[in-house]
Amino acid sequence: MEPLELVPGRYIGEGQPCFIIAEIGQNHQGDVDLAKSLILRAKECGADCVKFQKSSLKDKFNRHALARPYTGPNAWADTYGAHKEHLEFSREEFQELQNYAREVGIPLTASAMDIPTVELLDELGVPFIKVGSGDVHNLPLLRRAAATGRPLVVSSGMSDIEWVSRVYEELSAAQDPPTPLVILQCTSAYPTPPEHVHLRVLDTYAQVFPHAHIGYSGHELGIHVTVAAVARGARVVERHITLNKSWKGSDHACSLEPHELRELVEAVRSVEAALGSPLKAFQPSEEPCFSKVSG
């Protein structure tokens, strides 16, 4: 399969470095300045891209859902609608964040949670569109996202192989030309127990989805599982970033703080170098030891 240009000048595929997405999501707490701080930290840590979440609340939820009481520990308001509104950036704010990301030199995109948001992201010229696990069963949304012609990154949490195959057929076989597609293995548990991650699904996806690139979206604690996903063949990995895991919000606890994101990036690059060649051969670094033992 040909390498895919996921953002301008940056390809994924055989022989290309793993593409690392720093998922800001809604860890910005509804604060544009905090969002900018997260963008800058992700850039400093070596991430390849930052990603937010974007939705049109009146199109995503009905009036009953928006009006229902919302009183959990992570609530920002008394109703679910007001809570979501607090965490939602306007078009103007999103454009401000886009401009800031360009200034610091890191691509920015978002998960689209409804069709109007797909259209907005397309108008704003994001490099690719993400569809999260919560919307992977929304075929009209996926079709509209595919119709933009932009690369599509799809998480597959809360799905089985039959459904992911259906999505693949919709986006690959049913589209002419096929949608530039990345499918991420994902488990929608926050945090995800290691025994529920199932990295071997990456092997399955690579076998049964030959026209898609394969990756991993992780919600586990720590970085080791994500590094293992890269060793297993993930072309793209995605992890949430936060400045403080103890902050209010459902994603902070399973997010990486900047020092952990930096450690992840360094570990991924080290593992990529270590994977090397399948050909067993004498290495130049072995020469001192060889000279000593061969006397």
- List, for residues 156-168, the tens digit of each pLDDT value: 999 999 999 999 9
274-292: pLDDT as tens digits? 999 999 999 999 999 999 9
Residues 6+ apart with CB under 8 A from 117: 54, 55, 56, 59, 110
pLDDT of residue 131: 98
Q: Where are the alpha helices (DSSP H) in the chain?
A: 32-45, 57-60, 63-67, 80-87, 91-104, 115-124, 139-147, 161-168, 201-208, 224-231, 258-275, 287-294
pLDDT of residue 116: 97
pLDDT of residue 174: 67
Is residue 257 over pLDDT 90? yes
SS3 at position 52: strand
pLDDT of residue 268: 98
Q: What is the mean pLDDT of residues 177-202?
A: 96
Number of domains in the chain: 1
Domain, as residue range, for 111: 4-294
φ and ψ of 243, to 5 deg: -95, -10
204-228: pLDDT as tens digits? 999 999 999 999 999 999 999 999 9
Is residue 141 over pLDDT 80? yes
Average pLDDT of the residues of the chain: 96
What is the CATH classification number for the domain harbouring 90? 3.20.20.70
